[in-house]
Amino acid sequence: MAMRRLNAVRESKDPLKIVKELDAFPKIDDCYVETTARSGGVSLVMFAIIGVLIFSEIYSYTSYEVVYEYNVDQETAGELKINVDMTIAMPCAAIGADLLDTTGKLNIYHENNLKETNTVFEMDAAQKTFHELNRHKVYLREKYHSMHESIWDRGYSSDFSKYPERSQTDKTPKDACRFKGYLLSKKLSGNFHITLGKPVQMFGGGHAHLSVFGSTNTNFSHRVHHLSFGDDAGGRVNPLDGDNKITEFNHHIYQYYLKVVPTKVNTRYARADTYQFAVTERDRKLDHSAGSHGTPGIFFKYDFSPIKVYVEQKYKPFWKFLVRMCGIVGGIFACTGMVIKVFSTA
């Protein structure tokens, strides 16, 4: 008798039974429910829709979007690298490269890591393929601005060391000079240039280029294989990569005006403080008799933007995912009930 009384107490305190008794929704016994093929078909369709929406929501949650933010750049100290890889249609002994910033400090290439190598100006088959591919990527970026997010997303790398070297067995006479490496600069406006003669620091500031070559032999036709600022970051596209300029005049000046924008990248492909830049360019033939004065050469004049860009890949928060999942499942079930009632009364 005591055992029966104990079992009754246990049954009355069964959590599952208590929850069932607290159910506020009316329940109909199975014997009063009539199932039809039409209602079953509607249920199958609705369950299929639920599966598709749940799958798409999970895919959306696991993916991310590229977010751009802008703020004032407060990091003005320190040095940065100017990465250079370009070929000029003149021998290395005839030309020189240097960098001059607004403080008047001269950075000559042999004091840093910008190396010069005599090479052939005409590209071989592998170099032509790489050059055209690089130029095509830049063209697509400029033509279709919406691709930039995809490029950051895919992490395309602009590593210029991949430019192919010429075969060691190539016996073509070397008529050009390749500058490859980097220069160090303060975060100040400056002028990186390649012109006739080797740079020499002058007493009291300033510098000059000394040359033993005649001006009639100059030709500043050039190719920019790569030009960038700072460390490489997957997704960055440099607008001058693949640039190609050919001239038949001895006295020709090429000027590039660069607006450099500090950029902080935080993606799954890269976490770096780097720089992007926009460029406008101008070239002209020098003719003193016609009033066109200047020094023949290639000049890159750059200036820094005070605004810093933050590029980040962000995921959706988990609570939003849960809310959307509950809304999808609950909404589909509610719609299913209404559709079944419509079909059953028709």
Q: pLDDT > 70: what percent of the chain?
A: 70
**54 and 149 fall within a common domain:** no
**Residue closest to 278 by CA, chosen among 225, 241, 240, 309:** 240
| Per-residue model confidence (pLDDT) at position 258 | 94
Contact residues for 197 (Cβ-Cβ < 8 A; gap 6+): 94, 95, 96, 208, 209, 210, 211, 213
Nearest one of 135, 77, 88 to 114, comparing CA atoms:
88
Q: How confident is the model at residue 338 (pLDDT cuts 50, 70, 90)?
A: confident
Statement to judge: residues 250 and 341 lie in one domain: no
pLDDT at residue number 215: 56
Q: At what angle do helices 147-154 and 125-143 cross, to 10 degrees?
A: 130
3-state secondary structure of 201: strand
Q: pLDDT value at position 257?
A: 95
The H-assigned helical ranges of 37-146 are: 37-62, 125-143
Token code pair at residue 137: 């990527």
Structure tokens at 166: 């010429």
pLDDT confidence bin for 259, thresholds 50/70/90: very high
22 pairs with which residues across the strands? none
pLDDT attached to residue 145: 55
- How many domains are there within the chain? 2
Q: Which two tokens stand for residue 101?
A: 């910033």
**Percent of the chain topping pLDDT 90:** 10
pLDDT score of 26 more than 80: no
pLDDT at 302: 93
What residue numbers bound the domain in which 302 lies? 67-314
107 and 31 in a single domain? The answer is: no
Compare 247 and 207 and report the one with higher pLDDT.
247
Read off the pLDDT band of 313 (50, 70, 90).
confident
User: How far is the C-alpha of 160 from the C-alpha of 137, rounded, in Å?
Assistant: 14
Q: Are residues 222 and 333 in the same domain?
A: no
- Are 340 and 295 in the same domain? no
Looking at residues 321-339, what average pLDDT do you find? 78
Phi, psi at 258, each rounded to 5°: -110, 130
pLDDT of residue 160: 45
Instruction: Answer with the residue of higher pLDDT: 273 or 20.
Output: 273
* Closest to 193 in 3D by CA, of 254, 138, 126, 272: 254
pTM score? 0.68
Most confident of 22-31, 65-74, 166-175: 65-74
CA–CA gap between residue 217 and residue 250 (Å, rounded): 7
The DSSP letter of residue 102 is T
Instruction: Count CA within 13 A, CB hemisphere, residue 88.
Output: 28
Question: Does residue 6 register a pLDDT over 80?
Answer: no
Measured CA to CA, the distance from residue 70 to residue 87 in angstroms comes to 36
- Write out pLDDT tens, residues 79-120: 788 899 999 999 888 888 888 887 766 666 555 588 888 999
Whole-angstrom Cα distance, residue 264 to residue 284?
36
308 and 328 share one domain: no
Based on the domain organization, do 330 and 219 belong to the same domain? no
Band (pLDDT 50/70/90 cuts) for residue 151 is low
Q: Pick from 198, 225, 227, 203: which is nearest to 297 by CA?
A: 198
pLDDT digits (tens, 9 = 90+) for 185-206: 888 888 898 988 777 766 666 6
Token pair 């005070």: residue: 306
Residues 93 and 160 in one domain: yes
End-to-end CA distance of the chain: 58
Q: What is the pLDDT of residue 49?
A: 79
Tell me, yes or no, whether 57 and 97 share the same domain: no
Arithmetic mean of pLDDT over the chain: 76
Residue 329 has pLDDT above 70, yes or no: yes
Same domain, yes or no: 209 and 267: yes
Whether residue 198 is found in the same domain as residue 323: no
Q: Look up residue 95 and give its two tokens.
A: 């030309």
